[in-house]
A and B are shown apart, each in its own frame.
Chain A
Amino acid sequence: GQSLEQPSEVTAVEGAIVQINCTYQTSGFYGLSWYQQHDGGAPTFLSYNGLDGLEETGRFSSFLSRSDSYGYLLLQELQMKDSASYFCAVAGGSYIPTFGRGTSLIVHP
């Protein structure tokens, strides 16, 4: 089967940088994705890493190390609107994605 571990909660102040880690165990691996979900809303796609390294999209970056079964989402220049839950998701050998339990990011002024 597949399993993912990510912190349940992270807090930071506006303007800061925060990193949300995700470690996974999977048989077969096709990629690590990140999704954002605001309270009461639908998850929305943020990024995807299929290969090792850093992917940058504006203020958000995502990193993957397949040898360490580890990835992270980096959020820079935090804004209040970044307060949300962030989920990592792994697609393993069966192409079925498994989501982590989510990290609640709280941004303080």
Chain B
Amino acid sequence: EAQVTQNPRYLITVTGKKLTVTCSQNMNHEYMSWYRQDPGLGLRQIYYSMNVEVTDKGDVPEGYKVSRKEKRNFPLILESPSPNQTSLYFCASSLSSGVDEQFFGPGTRLTVL
């Protein structure tokens, strides 16, 4: 089944404790991205990747890191999480760019205390 998977689905952590949210797709898509969704603000892009070893900032990259060492994986790293990073996070992939239909993962609900 074609899908985007994320782990964990739910995470409660404390300020400053490094964490990684994994994202994997099995559709051989070149383009992958991370979004955060906050009430009333819609989906805001954090980082995106056009291909392996190619990543770039989206609209709200502060406090986040990403890497794209393999085509299928695109982890999101929070080196020192803060309470304002409490949010719902979605990973997405598409064939070749952000213009194409994006397939979203199930979401990760993160709470930073």
Which residues of A pack against B, CB within 8 Å? 30-31, 33, 35, 41-45, 48, 50, 87, 89, 91, 95-102
Contacts and interface: CB of A to CB of B under 8 A. Distances in A.
Interface residue SS majority, chain B: loop
A97 B45 contact: yes
A30 B105 contact: no
Contacts of B79: none
Q: Which 7 residue pairs across A and B have the least CB separation, nearest first? A: A42-B104, A101-B42, A91-B99, A97-B98, A99-B43, A45-B101, A95-B97
Contacts, number: 51
A35 B35 CA distance: 14
Contacts of A31: 99
B48 interface: yes
B51 to A, nearest CB: 13
Given A100-B42, A101-B40, A91 B102 contact: no
A87 B43 contact: yes
B43 A96 contact: no
A44 B98 contact: no
Given A87-B43, A91-B97, A91-B98, A98 B59 contact: yes
Interface residues of B, number: 21
B102 A96 contact: no
B104 A43 contact: yes
A33 B43 contact: no
A30 B94 CA distance: 15
B70 to A, nearest CB: 22
B99 to A, nearest CB: 4
